[in-house]
Structure 1
Amino acid sequence: MNYLLVFLIVCGQCMIGNVSGLTNDIHIWNDLDPKHKHTTLFVHCKSGSQDQGPKYIPWGKVHHFGVEQNWRRSKLYWCTLRHGPNYRLGNKFDVYKYQDGVPNGHTYDWIAREDGVYFRRENGPIRKVHNWRPM
């Protein structure tokens, strides 16, 4: 009986995960001005339990990874983005945090441009959300 109960719980969790689309795609785009000398974007993303490690993204490329929401709905990912001479301009911010009313399975686009960082969710409107600052 105990094995049946465990089996049903595991199957139920798998079905809920497949139906609700629990993986969120995080895209960090390097859209810095290609006419400038320093066009490589430094990206370092982390959560409380995972570290993506530092990445250097060339102009026009994207760094992407998936985030699966945990059952407590407490998953948080943050990233540090830097660019410019010696990577002195940057910002650190949350790229994914669970929000009530926002379904899982979405794409989160973060776009690094010369004047700051822009955000778009699921092909919605792009809006500027962060300025660069000395780091």
Structure 2
Amino acid sequence: MKRISSFLLMFLLAAFIIFMSLKQSENFSGAEYDIRIVNGFTDNSSLALVIWCTSDDKDIGGRALQVGDDFSWSVKTNLWGATPFHCTMKWDATRKQFDAFQVQRDVQRCGPLRTCFWLVREDGFYFSNDQVNWKKDFSW
């Protein structure tokens, strides 16, 4: 009886691992996601949008974006997901920090092309996976 229980336990464990790998294959296979942040201001201000992005294990630096400029990078997931990327935005005296990429939130919503677009406007931060349909996620 003990031998059957051990066998059953091993079988269930193997089935669970296979199920999880099929369900979250992008995490196991190391899917790559492209993140792009665009200065979408419309007031043609001479003031740049200053951006600085980091994760727990990587500092990808910062940029000063004029209207229409963008800042982009790629993130590769692994068995444990990926480290979230936080960005700090500064425009004039206004400052905001947000998660530009977070596995639990973005794996599905970045779509089959694995692209995560952010458009920063005067009234907030908009997300899209196709640069056509935008949804406001955060306000300044």
TM-score, normalised to structure 2, is 0.68
Determine the C-alpha separation between the residues in 2 that align with 1:92 and 1:27.
16
Alignment correspondent of 2:39: 30
Find out whether 1:93 has 2:98 as its counterpart: yes
1:8-41 deviation per Cα after TM superposition (whole angstroms, max 9, x unaligned): xxxxxxxx88xx6711000000011243342x11
> Distance in 2 between the 1:23 and 1:34 partners?
34
Work out whether 1:66 is the aligned partner of 2:68: no
Q: Which has the higher helix share?
A: 2
- Mapped to 2, the partners of 1:104 and 1:95 lie a distance apart of 18
More relative contact order in 1 or in 2 (CA 8 Å, sep 6+)? Answer: 1
- Pick the structure with greater CA Rg: 2
Per the TM alignment, residue 91 of structure 1 is displaced from its structure 2 partner at its CA by 1.1
Tell me if the contact between 1:21 and 1:104 (Cα under 8 Å) persists in the aligned partners.
no
- State how 1:118-129 maps to structure 2 within 5 Å: 118-123=126-131, 125-129=133-137
Q: Mark the runs of 5 or more structure 1 residues left unpaired by the alignment.
A: 1-15
Work out the number of aligned pairs and report it: 111
Sort the Cα spacing of 1:105 and 1:70 in 2 relative to 1 into closer, same or farther, 3 A.
Answer: farther
**Contact 1:28/1:63 (<8 A) preserved:** yes
Identity of aligned residues (%): 26
2:37–2:71 Cα contact (<8 Å) kept: yes
What one-letter code is carried by the residue in structure 1 that aligns with 2:72?
Answer: H
Contact 1:41 / 1:81 at 8 angstroms: preserved in 2?
yes
Looking at secondary structure, tell me which structure has more strand per residue: 1
**1:99-118 residue pairs with structure 2 within 5 A?**
99=104, 102=108, 106-118=114-126
Superposition deviation, residue 123 in structure 1 = 4.4
Q: Deviations over 1:82-133 (max 9, x none)?
A: 112xxx112101111112872775111111111111111244620111111x
Q: Which amino acid aligns with 1:55?
A: R
